[in-house]
Amino acid sequence: MNPKHHLLLLAAILHTVACTPVSVFASEEKTVILTMNRYDIVDKEYVAWVFNETDIVTYYPLNPKDHKLRIWPSYLSRVEFDTGDLSVELKNLQKNDSGLYRGEIKTPENTTVVEYQLIVLETVQKPNITTYADWFSGDSCNLTVTCRAGDLFLTSTCNSSTCTQDGDSAHGGLTIFIKHGSIICNHSNPVSWSHAAVQTEGLCPFTQYPESVTDDKQTAVIVSTAVGVIILLVVVGGLLGFVTLSKKQGHAPNVYEEVNGWGGDDGGEDPPVEKDGSSHVEVRHHVW
């Protein structure tokens, strides 16, 4: 290779010493400090911090003029620059501060570059837990647990020791698990964390039904049995009465009335008349 080409290649390598951007997470309204890796480089001619290709800070250590340090007006109230270690402090962060930050140190020989990918996140909300008990066999019970935080939610089915996540949940940053007799919902992101917990006791016993439930079931069984017996007795009694009445009506003897001493149309004597003028009739029943 031509020696001239070697010199050009070496110059290109020395011109820029760069690295892969480092991810940095920060909370809204908080502060972050971005540092230079090689702040001790001698013969620094120019130092700059750039946000998405827009200058934030420029610094000329060897410039005797009054404007050797300049902070752009839009950042005056939110940026601090340290002329010693060349770090920049960003205050009162907002979501639109997220992006690529590049620090540059230029010398007569090369330019050293450090890059940060800043991600500004909201502080997470405290989650809320709701539970619903699903009963199965006498010694098994599952809980449907829903955890919500803002627009996010996660639904899981939990037994005595584990929780299985519902695949349809929009659960970014939410997790549900059981620990020390409590169902816990965590809500977190890289910069903040919050949680809510509820005791499993009283929600759904995992070994047996609660006594109150058992007593209610026993009471219901007793009442149902008693009502059934009463209804059966009434039905049987009604049937027996009906059969007895039917037999009496089907085999009853013929009864004829004979009026003593009164022949009626046969010309018998008139019935005796008492002193008060009323008739006295003697009725005799003859069974055939």
pTM to 2 decimal places: 0.57
Tokens for 240? 């027996």
The predicted structure's pLDDT at residue 93: 95
Taking the CB of residue 46, how many other CB atoms lie within 10 A of it? 15
25 beta partners: 119
Does domain 11-121 sit in CATH 2.60.40.10?
yes
pLDDT band of 3, cuts 50, 70, 90: very low
Distance CA 73, CA 93 (A): 16
Residue among 89, 109, 83, 110 at smallest CA distance from 101? 89
Query: H/E element holding 163?
Result: strand 163-165
Q: Could you state, in order of their start, the residue ranges of all structural domains in the chain?
A: 11-121, 128-199, 210-250, 255-287
pLDDT in tens, 133-178: 876 655 667 888 999 998 889 999 888 788 888 766 667 789 999 9
Taking the CB of residue 55, how many other CB atoms lie within 10 A of it? 13
Most confident among 87-96, 192-201, 250-259 (mean pLDDT): 87-96
pLDDT band of 257, cuts 50, 70, 90: very low
Residue 87 has pLDDT above 70, yes or no: yes
Percentage with pLDDT > 90 across the chain:
35
Mean residue pLDDT across the chain: 75
Contacts of 111 (CB under 8 A, 6+ apart): 15, 16, 17, 104, 105
Residue among 100, 120, 133 at smallest CA distance from 31? 120
Contacts of 196 (CB under 8 A, 6+ apart): 126, 127, 128, 129, 147, 184, 185
What values do phi and psi take at 244, rounded to 5?
-60, -45
Which whole number is the average pLDDT over 53-70? Answer: 83
